Structure 1
């Protein structure tokens, strides 16, 4: 989704979703039983509905990747360029985990720590039924 919104000035949150909606028929025409992984953050159930509308006919499976809170905070602290950005994301992690709607948004969750990337991907593919 990030690549679908690379434009300056940024036209807003819906821009990448609208681009996906525009190109979705091309994906389906090229491969009718296409399987597509869309890495994105879904803020709420409304965003799930908007994503579903952007990919009509798709069997949307939502996997939340996560790790223990301390690990998530360590990850953002290490990767962010400033202390302010890291602090803001550490706060966001707490806010996110206090939510009560996550079970309604996701189909399943994969814990990525201490698993390797390969192990995490294998679990996602298995849980979606795509590992065959």
Structure 2
């Protein structure tokens, strides 16, 4: 069974940054791993719909598993709801899914997306998405663990995730 770590959380919570830090730690420990970013799998215009990234994931999944039988896979993404967790499970046959919710105070999240996004439209859209995300009531039912990315450093958060998941290296 392939271990899959899904980094789920609000925009600005550090999912992509942590995915890269985790990949670096696993690389340094010579642990077979991969990062599959669903945002990257859905960069198509016009966007063909919400199932598009999951269908891409389903299509490429066998290739990742074939690379190494004990590969660890990291997927940064936002679950829209509990139902999407099951859709992702279906796209990853033979995977053992662990979901870590990344979090930070709302004002920090909004500052992060304001800093990184290239246009006012994107900044405003993500700031609104943060409010929508935090108004939801299903987070505890989706996640296995929660890790705060503030005031912790990226390295501290990555170490905590590796420890919580049992992926601790060195």
When normalised by structure 1's length, the TM-score is 0.89
Deviations 1:48-103 (A, max 9, x none): 11100000110001111111111111112222333343233223222221211110
Aligned partner (choices 99, 103, 111) of residue 136 of structure 2: 99
Larger strand fraction of residues: 2
The structure carrying a bigger helix percent of its residues is 1
Runs of at least 4 residues off by over 4 Å: none
Gapped regions of structure 1 (runs ≥ 5): none
Structure 2 distance, partners of 1:83, 1:37, is 30
- For 2:68 and 2:122, the matched residues in 1 are separated by 40
Are positions 1:70 and 2:107 aligned together?
yes
Structure 2 portions without partners, runs of 5+: 1-37
Q: How many residues were matched structurally?
A: 132
Distance 2:59 2:156 in 1: 33
Give the alignment's TM-score, normalised by structure 2. Answer: 0.71
